[in-house]
Amino acid sequence: MVPYGWDQAWADEFVPYDAQGLVAGRVIRVDRGQCDVITADGVVRADTAFVTPHDPLRVVCTGDWVAVEPAGNPRYVRTYLPRRTAFVRSTSSKRSEGQILAANVDHAVVAVSLAAELDLGRVERFLALAWESGAQPVVVLTKADLVPDAVTLAHLVQDVETSAPGVPVLPVSAELGEGLDVLAAVISGGTSVLLGQSGAGKSTLANALLGEDVMEVQATRDVDGKGRHTTTTRNLLALPGGGVLIDTPGLRGVGLFDAGTGVGQVFSEIEELATECRFHDCAHVAEPGCAVLAAVDSGDLPERRLDSYRKLLRENQRIVAKTDARARAEIRREWKRKGAEGRAAMEVKRGRWM
């Protein structure tokens, strides 16, 4: 299992489950309450019924290391090992729930297509989630062969670099094989998750990195440069140069989920400027002595960056408030339930006494 990321630290975590006769493995695919698990003896199919709590963040996920029963029909996953990292977004329903997309990821590869106009705000959104997960983000500008002019391509890379401080930005053409060696070197030896909108070229990129057509690919539409949605599940695949890759379906909605630290990382220059504001609780709107607004006025900070920062902060604050409210409501319901049980028990006792 070493090619899939097994190391001594995971082995140490698994010791108590090994003593129970359970089998270690990594989840390579989850589908309708069951999952495929790669073990030392090959791939086994297992049921996740024992690890399906009400909290959607605690379900078995692609990338998890799990303890599986040694035999049985069906075989069951008994538990998963504590996650080192987890990529989480808010659900598309915009309720106060998170959805886990991948676990134990070292690199979050954000695929951005150059077949359409760059949406830097969306890039920043993906990066906030990536930083929050604990993984190292990498931005890959796919379909770079559609921008044949080197100067124009360099400007596009620079635009993304401005929006992605501390993040490698790599132009890649899977069609021509350009830039793949650099990307493969960056993500070798660990676990990477491939993220992006539908049509960003993720499946084509995954095939190029794998060296074979594992993922189905559909043609790009000429009218808007977008491909069709091809990947429907999250699959973990071993890379020939070392490391593993989790390919994900195209994400139409990328909602933040308690990603305050990630937002701060994406907009690190704004957070640094904020330390120089006159007021420690400066909202960077109209306050006197605001170092952030001064940077906008001087041209050192693009106004678009500040607008994006405010937008993501507001969104994150809303989801955190909803999550806290839901947690308080669940606690109140639990109190009421226990109170009702206590009253019922007292009624029974009174009936006996009488």
Q: Are 139 and 157 in contact (CB under 8 A)?
A: no
| Region 159-170 average pLDDT | 94
Q: What is the pLDDT of residue 14?
A: 97
Confidence band (pLDDT; 50, 70, 90) for 229? very low
Q: What is the pLDDT of residue 220?
A: 42
Confidence band (pLDDT; 50, 70, 90) for 258? confident
Count of other CB atoms within 10 angstroms of residue 325: 11
**Residues sharing a CB contact under 8 Å with residue 337, sequence separation 6 or more, in sequence order:** none
Q: What is the pLDDT of residue 50?
A: 85
| Region 268-292 average pLDDT | 93
Taking the C-alpha atoms of residue 321 and residue 330, their distance in angstroms, rounded to an integer, is: 14
Nearest Cα residue to 100 out of 86, 110, 111: 86
Taking the C-alpha atoms of residue 203 and residue 214, their distance in angstroms, rounded to an integer, is: 9
Q: What is the pLDDT of residue 227?
A: 46
Look up residue 71 and give its two tokens.
Answer: 């035999």
Q: Are 246 and 192 in contact (CB under 8 A)?
A: yes
Q: Are 115 and 220 in contact (CB under 8 A)?
A: yes
Confidence band (pLDDT; 50, 70, 90) for 197? confident
Q: What is the pLDDT of residue 61?
A: 93
Confidence band (pLDDT; 50, 70, 90) for 81? very high
Q: Is 200 helix (H, G, I), strand (E, B) or coil?
A: coil
Q: What is the pLDDT of residue 348?
A: 55
Nearest Cα residue to 296 out of 285, 280, 282: 285
For residue range 117-130, list pLDDT tens digits in order: 999 999 999 999 99
Higher-confidence residue: 52 or 68? Answer: 68
HEC string of 157-172 equals HHHHHHHCCCCCEEEC
Residue 11 confidence (pLDDT) above 90: yes
Confidence band (pLDDT; 50, 70, 90) for 154? very high
HEC string of 269-308 equals HHHHHHCCCCCCCCCCCCCCCCHHHHHHHHCCCCHHHHHH
Residue 96 confidence (pLDDT) above 80: no
Q: What percent of the chain has pLDDT over 90?
A: 59
| Region 286-293 average pLDDT | 94
Q: What is the pLDDT of residue 93?
A: 47
Confidence band (pLDDT; 50, 70, 90) for 317? confident
Confidence band (pLDDT; 50, 70, 90) for 211? confident
Q: What is the pLDDT of residue 328?
A: 53
Cis geometry, peptide bond prior to residue 74 (ω within 30 degrees of 0): yes
Residue 33 confidence (pLDDT) above 60: yes
Average pLDDT of the residues of the chain: 85
Buried-state track 10-21, b at ≥16 Cβ within 10 A, e below 16: beeebeebeeee
Residue 351 confidence (pLDDT) above 70: no
Confidence band (pLDDT; 50, 70, 90) for 13? very high
Confidence band (pLDDT; 50, 70, 90) for 318? confident
Q: What is the pLDDT of residue 215?
A: 54
Q: What is the pLDDT of residue 219?
A: 42
